[in-house]
Amino acid sequence: MSARPAVAPPQPWTFPVPDSFRLPNGMQVLLYRRPGQKVISTRLVVPVPLSAEPRAVEGVATIVSRTLDEGTLSRSADETAELLERHGIAYGASFGQNGLTLDTESTARGLNVGWELLAEFLGRPAFDETEVDRHVRQRLSEIDHQLANPGSRAAVEWVKTYYTPGSRASRPTAGSADTVAAITPDDCRDFYGYLSPRHSTLIVAGDFDDPREALAGTLGAWSPVTTPAPSTHDELADDRARIVFVDRPGSVQTELYVGQAGPARRVDWAPYPVLGFVLGGAPTARIDAVLREEKGYTYGIRAGFRPRKDDGTFLVSGSVRADVTAPALDLLLTILDGATEFTSEEVRNGADYVARTAPGRYATADVVADEAAGLALFGLGTDYVTEYLAQLPTLTADDVSQAWSLWRDTPAASCWWGMPPSTRMRSARSVTVT
């Protein structure tokens, strides 16, 4: 009988390194060559702060993103849709805190057509009144659905409590019913004026030939716009360390939404995905070990850090049975308050999970492009991923405990409730309960 082969330790993994250059209009291009991946992912990110939206028509950035492909000065919305379908191009667009993201998925056959269309959407949008009105109505319908959803409603109430009323982050990213209903095509055209190629980044990931000439003739021809976008800084509310109750009679489950301050993206990041894993990122995590496995209060509670450009948060969310709302929240806060130190075994399990699953997480072109696009909106490259992954094997329990201590006692609390509370609860964090 032959001996079992020895299993070698995993080798260090690095994020793919892109070829980088700039188009004549100033747009940066990052090419991630992934041999054998015939579906090619394109991401174009245009940085514009969400706070550039006029207060009266918040949500206009989202409507702009959704109507760029709904007809241009050169072709109708139907003609655009037919062209995308004929060439097998999947298209999408969204607007977040830091800017606009346009994306396409296609084979090499449709790649140039996709870039031509992106250039047309950005350079010659029509903002037809019928199409803008249709998307406004769709967004208003979305708002009704979101407010009826416990998780979405909890998030809305949490940001309203955590940030000052004057901060853009205190209100829904895609706007509220009153502001969305006021949006007109002229508002879309005004906001569109902030979009420019100068600080934009184009990411292409997959198996493709040299695209420089094609890009120069398509997206490289998008003319710069010089209108500067206004920006304001989000501020935390002085009274954020409190519990807010929102009653939903008849609810059989309660949505808990607990949050506090966390690090911004530009930090020594390695300890934070490990902390998220140990506290609430796996069935074996501290929170689930008690609330799910021991008590049976929940199907699962999620926890993790959500970095932003200038600040960040640590958020815990999930549903529990309505009849155990009070003890579940009490236990949850007890677990968080008691997390003063972490064991070497916890840290090693978390670090191994984050590091050793990275090759699988980033195996496809679309995920590589998504990660590069997200980091570009923070002004970072994907070497950021390689650097923090390289730190994980040497991460110690003291490193993780010290990283958590920077944020553990930061006050920030709100809570909203699915059922009337039966007991008064303490809180040093933001908690929403639906």
Instruction: Let me know whether 214 and 287 are in one domain.
Output: no
Residue at 257 is within a domain? yes
Instruction: Let me know whether 85 and 204 are in one domain.
Output: yes
Residue at 13 is within a domain? no
Residue at 230 is within a domain? no
Q: Compute the half-sphere exposure of residue 330: CA atoms within 13 Å on the CB side of its CA.
A: 10
Instruction: Let me know whether 29 and 116 are in one domain.
Output: yes
Instruction: Let me know whether 204 and 260 are in one domain.
Output: no
Using the predicted structure, report yes or no on whether residue 7 has a pLDDT greater than 80: yes
Mean pLDDT across the stretch 26-49? Answer: 97
Mean pLDDT across the stretch 335-350? Answer: 95
Residue at 229 is within a domain? no
Using the predicted structure, report yes or no on whether residue 416 has a pLDDT greater than 70: no
Distance CA 117, CA 31 (A): 19
Residue 359: per-residue pLDDT = 95
Write out pLDDT tens, residues 345-401: 999 999 999 999 999 999 999 999 999 999 999 999 999 999 999 999 999 999 999
The proportion of the chain whose per-residue pLDDT surpasses 90, expressed as a percent, equals 84
Q: Which of 167, 198, 221 is the last residue of a domain?
A: 221
Residue at 415 is within a domain? yes
Instruction: Let me know whether 323 and 378 are in one domain.
Output: yes
Mean pLDDT across the stretch 231-248? Answer: 88
Number of folded domains in the chain? 2
- List the single range of 54-63, 180-189, 280-289 with lowest mean pLDDT: 280-289
Residue at 234 is within a domain? no
Domain residues for the domain of 392 are 253-433
State the average pLDDT for the chain.
Answer: 92
- Please report, for the domain that includes residue 290, its CATH number: 3.30.830.10
Tokens 């979101």 sit on residue: 146
Instruction: Let me know whether 301 and 214 are in one domain.
Output: no
Distance CA 40, CA 251 (A): 45
Instruction: Let me know whether 214 and 68 are in one domain.
Output: yes
Using the predicted structure, report yes or no on whether residue 251 has a pLDDT greater than 90: no
Residue 431: per-residue pLDDT = 67
Torsion of CA 287, 293, 295, 298, to 10 degrees: 70
Mean pLDDT across the stretch 402-419? Answer: 65
Instruction: Let me know whether 177 and 91 are in one domain.
Output: yes
Instruction: Let me know whether 172 and 295 are in one domain.
Output: no
Distance CA 332, CA 254 (A): 14
Instruction: Let me know whether 70 and 159 are in one domain.
Output: yes
Residue at 155 is within a domain? yes
Q: Which of 178, 200, 221 is the last residue of a domain?
A: 221
Write out pLDDT tens, residues 275-313: 999 999 988 999 999 999 999 999 999 999 999 999 999
Residue at 7 is within a domain? no
Instruction: Let me know whether 422 and 357 are in one domain.
Output: yes
pTM to 2 decimal places = 0.92
Contact 263/305 with Cβ under 8 angstroms?
yes
Q: Which of 174, 198, 221 is the last residue of a domain?
A: 221
Instruction: Let me know whether 48 and 166 are in one domain.
Output: yes
